A and B are shown apart, each in its own frame.
Chain A
Amino acid sequence: MIAPVADILEQLSREAYVADPAIATSLHLAQVLEKPLLVEGPAGVGKTEIAKALSAILSADLIRLQCYEGLDAASALYEWNYARQLLHIRLHEKNASHATEAEIFSEPFLLKRPLLQAIAHSGKPPVLLIDEIDRADEEFEAFLLEVLSDFQVTVPELGTLRANGRPRVVLTSNRSRELSDALRRRCLYLWIDHPTFEKELSIVRRKVPGAGDALAAEIVGFVQRLRRAKVAKIPGVSETLDWAAALVALHASKLDHAMVAETLGCVLKDESDLRKVRDEMEAGRLPLGATA
Chain B
Amino acid sequence: MTDGDLVARTVSFCRALRERGFPVGVEHSADAVRALAAGTLESRESARLALRCVLVSRPEDLRAFDDLFEDFFSASPEEPQPENRVKFPFPEAPRDAEEPPSLARWLKQGEEGPDDDDPEEARSASDMPALARKDFRDFTDEELEQIERIAARIARKLAARPSRRWKAARRGARVDLRRTMRSHPDFTELRFRERRTRKTRIVAICDVSGSMDLYSRFLLQFLYALQGSFARVESFVFSTELRRITESLRERPYASALRGLRDSVRDWSGGTRIGACLSTFESEWGRLVDRRTVVIILSDGWDTGDPAELSRALEALRMRARRLIWLNPLLGSPGYEPLTQGMQAALPHLSVFASAHNLDSLRALERHLLA
Contacts and interface: CB of A to CB of B under 8 A. Distances in A.
Given A29-B35, A80-B181, A82-B178, A184 B53 contact: no
Interface string B259-274: 0000000000000000
Interface string A1-45: 111110000000000000001100110110011010010100000
Interface stretch (A46-54, A175-183, A207-215, A281-289): A175-183
Interface string A66-86: 001110101000011011010
Interface of A is mostly: mixed
Range class of the A interface residue count: 35 or more
Contacts of B57: 38, 181, 184-185, 187, 189
A190 B62 CA distance: 10
Given A2-B40, A25-B49, A82-B181, A33 B35 contact: yes
Contacts of A190: 53
B39 A4 contact: yes
A221 B329 CA distance: 48
B42 A32 contact: no
Contacts, number: 105
Interface in A182-230: 184-185, 187-191, 230
B253 interface: no
B163 A21 contact: no
Contact of B38 (A29, A70, A72, A80): A29
Contacts of B181: 80, 82, 85
Interface of B is mostly: helix
Nearest to B320: A232
Contacts of B49: 21-22, 25-26
Which among B35, B178, B246 has the highest number of chain A CB atoms within 10 Å?
A: B35
Given A3-B39, A4-B39, A174-B287, A40 B59 contact: yes
A5 B23 contact: no
A20 to B, nearest CB: 9
Contacts of A272: 319
A1 B42 contact: yes
A189 B178 contact: no
Given A2-B46, A74-B178, A26 B53 contact: yes
A33 B290 contact: no
Interface residues of B, number: 43
B45 interface: yes
Contacts of B68: none
Contacts of B319: 232, 272
A261 to B, nearest CB: 24
A138 interface: yes
Contacts of A232: 316, 319
A80 B178 contact: yes
A179 B66 CA distance: 22
B34 A32 contact: yes
Contacts of B34: 32-33
14 contacts: A5-B40, A28-B38, A33-B31, A69-B164, A70-B164, A83-B177, A178-B246, A181-B23, A184-B57, A184-B58, A188-B54, A189-B57, A191-B62, A232-B316
Interface of A: 1-5, 21-22, 25-26, 28-29, 32-33, 35, 38, 40, 68-70, 72, 74, 79-80, 82-83, 85, 137-138, 174-178, 181, 184-185, 187-191, 230, 232, 272
Given A70-B164, A177-B288, A181-B247, 4 more contacts: A22-B53, A184-B57, A189-B57, A189-B58
